[in-house]
Amino acid sequence: MAEKTKEITEEETAPKSGLQALRSERTRAALLAAAEKIFARDGFEASRIEDIAAEAGRSRGAFYANFLNKTDVFLELRARAMQKRAREIRMRLSRASDEAARTAAVNLHIIEQICDTQSLLLQIEFKLFALRHPEMLAELAEKHLEASTRVHEQELSEYFSHLSDVEPMRRKTLAIEALLEGFALNALFSPQILDRQYLETLMPGLLGEVLPTP
């Protein structure tokens, strides 16, 4: 999927004004933003291409000029969400001066994620989608994990001497995702019971069980 990326405008053809490319980029961005909104509101399955296009102020045709299908945008959005997450933690770690600051940065990163419930909900739907499409499962899981742990593998390890192996890293990452997803889902499902305060009380201990505290 998503092989149909914009062909980079070769210089040997007409000047092409650059304005078209801009217009194109805007449309794509508008569609992605709209898709994110609609997916968050209606869920992946129930979302309609028409609604996404309308939300972006474009036509269904514009959608299909930019994406292969609903799955394609969904996966692209997921990938972008992961990239954004990676960028954030990377920036935070680079600003932290000592190991204590770095640990705090990681904790903050996790805490903030649990607040972004919409995104976690979509992540749950993404994983359900993968489970319901066994032929894609392995590839999607690998891509997801790769994106999800890249930051850890490449950068965490240089900050935290006791975090070195990749496999344990992936395990920890997935375990934390499990925690975040499970609590996000249930916090939305029953906000009065699983309230913010209780979560704040509970999470540190749970995270401590997963993350090594040297």
Binding site for a second copy (CB under 8 A): 42-43, 45-46, 121, 124-125, 127-128, 130-132, 137, 141, 144-145, 167, 170-171, 174-175, 177-183, 185-190, 193-194, 198, 202, 205-206, 209-210
Which residue lies nearer to DNA by CB, 6 or 171? 6
| 199 lies in the binding site for DNA (CB under 7 A) | no
Which residue lies nearer to a second copy by CB, 25 or 45? 45
Residue type, 105: A
State how far the Cα of 169 lies from the Cα of 152, in Å rounded to an integer. 7
Which residues, 24 to 43, sit near DNA by CB under 7 A?
A: 24, 26-28
Tokens for 135? 């032929």
State how far the Cα of 34 lies from the Cα of 67, in Å rounded to an integer. 13
| 9 lies in the binding site for DNA (CB under 7 A) | yes
Which of 65, 79, 174, 185 binds DNA (CB under 7 A)? It is 65
Return the closest-CA partner of residue 76 out of 110, 45, 33.
33
CB of 66 to DNA, least distance (A): 5
Which of 3, 11, 61, 197 binds DNA (CB under 7 A)? It is 61
Q: Which runs of consecutive H residues, i.e. helices, occur in the chain?
A: 19-42, 49-55, 60-66, 70-95, 99-115, 117-132, 134-151, 157-159, 166-189, 196-210
